Amino acid sequence: MNDSLVASILKGLKDRLDENNSMAVQLDKGVVYRAVFTFNPPATEQEVVQFENELTVRLPADFRSFLLLHNGAQLFQDEKAGGGYKLLSLERIKDRYYKFKDMPKNLLPVSRNNGDYFFIDADRVRRGSRNYLVRFDHEDDLCDVNLNFETWLDRLIISQGAAFWEWE
């Protein structure tokens, strides 16, 4: 049983979903849509360790907890228009990691939304930094969001999939 904060955050979300793993979501300016959520089966501890060894990184505990619950997920996908947040599986992280040839090798892509990515900065994790997420906006450069995965996930769910990191 996974009793991490990530597990509690996801349980709270899942408790609000209907039998189709969806719910009505209201965003700014009164926009309402039906969001669908998909959760992959868990990764095994062995798969996580193999991933870390192959990329010579150590994943942060909160993201590791997520992977051991769900090796990837789709959050806030509009049932008509698609989109949403793709939380990448270990395999997709590796695939993107090797395809991003111009990206620093300390960055592990963990979430994608409309061409934008959130990355774990493995150097910050190695140094023990609590806030290790960085964001790449396809129209901009890398920017620090001063968050870890569990805080980002919690706020993403509380904000109903809105880009809360852009709020002023």
Tell me which residue range forms the domain holding 139.
5-159
**Tell me, what's the pLDDT at 93?**
98
In a domain? residue 34: yes
Q: What is the dihedral of CA 106, 148, 36, 115, to 10 degrees?
A: -40
**Tell me, what's the pLDDT at 51?**
98
Q: Strands of 22-26's sheet, edge to edge? A: 22-26, 32-39, 73-78, 85-87, 107-113, 116-121, 133-136, 142-144
Residues paired with 77 in a beta bridge: 36
Tokens (6 digits) for 160: 């109903």
**Tell me, what's the pLDDT at 28?**
82
In a domain? residue 47: yes
In a domain? residue 166: no
Please say if the pLDDT value at position 1 is more than 70. Answer: no
pLDDT digits (tens, 9 = 90+) for 4-44: 999 999 999 999 999 999 999 998 888 899 999 999 999 99
Closest alpha carbon to 145 in 107, 118, 124: 118
Distance CA 144, CA 159 (A): 19
In a domain? residue 164: no
**Tell me, what's the pLDDT at 2?**
64
Q: Which helix (H) or strand (E) holds 121?
A: strand 116-121
Distances 18 to 13, 36, 79, 161, 164 between C-alpha atoms, Å: 11, 10, 14, 17, 25
Instruction: State the DSSP code for 105.
Output: T
pTM for this one?
0.94
In a domain? residue 53: yes
Distance CA 141, CA 138 (A): 7
In a domain? residue 67: yes
**Tell me, what's the pLDDT at 43?**
98
CATH number at residue 121: 3.40.1580.10
In a domain? residue 71: yes
In a domain? residue 99: yes
pLDDT digits (tens, 9 = 90+) for 85-134: 999 999 999 999 999 888 899 999 999 998 899 999 999 999 999 999 99
Q: Number of folded domains in the chain?
A: 1
Q: Beta strand 133-136 with 116-121: parallel, antiparallel or unpaired?
A: antiparallel
